[in-house]
Amino acid sequence: MRVVTLEEHITFPELVNQIPQEAHDKHYLDKSPMIQKLAAKLADITGERLQSMDENGITTQVLSVAGAGADLLDASYGPAFAKKYNDAIAERIANHTDRFKAFAHLPTTNPEAAADELERTVKTYNFRGALINGLTNDEFLDDAKYAPIFERAEQLDVPIYLHPGLPPKAVFDAYYSNLPKQAGAFLSIAGWGWHSETALHTLRLIVSGTLDKYPKLKLIIGHMGEMLPMMMVRSDKMFGIDQGGINQRSIIQTLHDQVHITTSGLFSLPPLQVAIDTFGIDNIMFSIDYPFSSNEVGRTYLDSMQLSNTDMEKITHGNADKLLKLK
């Protein structure tokens, strides 16, 4: 059975090193021991990564940029940097297009240029959409200035993967400071903050009316739906369309219509069942979050799923094939 994974990361040090230090300092996670330990795996595509895919039955990875990137750069410098990054990705996967696809890296500080770069990579390199890491300049994407990105994605019929990013300093200071050792830092990212913020980001795109404005746009979020499978009923009740909400559809309906989720980095069966019961099997796609999670652990989790053959085909490749037009 083909296995497609959608949240699999790369970082090219030779490009990251071109980011000015004052911008690079904003992305403190790049200096962490965890990132330094994984630096070689993040930079590699056709060596250890491909070998691990073969050993664990991963047919195709959809690659995306992790860490410091164009979203840290100003509107004048970001577009050229993003173009250079996307060109490098395309060059390195050109001889392995059956094994690797890619999401575009966008200069979100310049939304018009980001939309143009999305179109260029889709039409020139057959990239399958874009991945955006959290907030840009401490702003959520429901701000009207980011409309060109959504408009172009809808026109091109490609999804936007909404991935976690580092919290703004004010948020970190208010929520995650004054804790022992590295507890605050871990709590602000994979320990909790990343997931709650991405859920909030998704809900803002709904309650702001942004997804109503672009009803054909598709979003992808990872980590088994970033807490939304458990909380969507609660949010839907508070923002019911019969309670004077501004939306054309309920939160639940909008999530079903426009949001797809992946299993990336969350390898536990009870959350999967909740996701199936709430989002539905047609909106769930298997992913690993390589190299932050290993292919071995992800494969063991996949093999533990007690699903019908039809549902396994949907999660392993069928839903991704449809959404990303892989077949």
* Residue range 63-87, pLDDT digits in tens: 999 988 999 999 999 999 999 999 9
pLDDT value for 30: 63
Residues noted as catalytic? 289
pLDDT value for 248: 80
Cβ-proximal residues to 79 (8 Å cutoff; 6+ apart), any chain: 70, 107, 110, 113, 114, 116, 117
Strands 284-285 and 160-163: unpaired
pLDDT value for 60: 98
Number of domains in the chain: 1
Say whether pLDDT at 242 is over 60.
Answer: no
Which domain covers residue 71, as residue numbers? 4-324
**CB atoms inside a 10 Å sphere around CB 170:** 9
- What is the CATH number for 65? 3.20.20.140
Helices (H), the chain: 13-16, 21-24, 33-43, 48-55, 78-93, 111-125, 147-156, 169-175, 183-188, 193-207, 210-213, 228-238, 251-258, 269-278, 295-304, 309-313, 319-324
- Torsion from C-alpha of 27, 83, 321, 159, nearest 10 degrees: 70
Cβ contact 287:263 at 8 Å:
yes
* Number of residues written out for the chain: 327
The residue type found at 188 is S
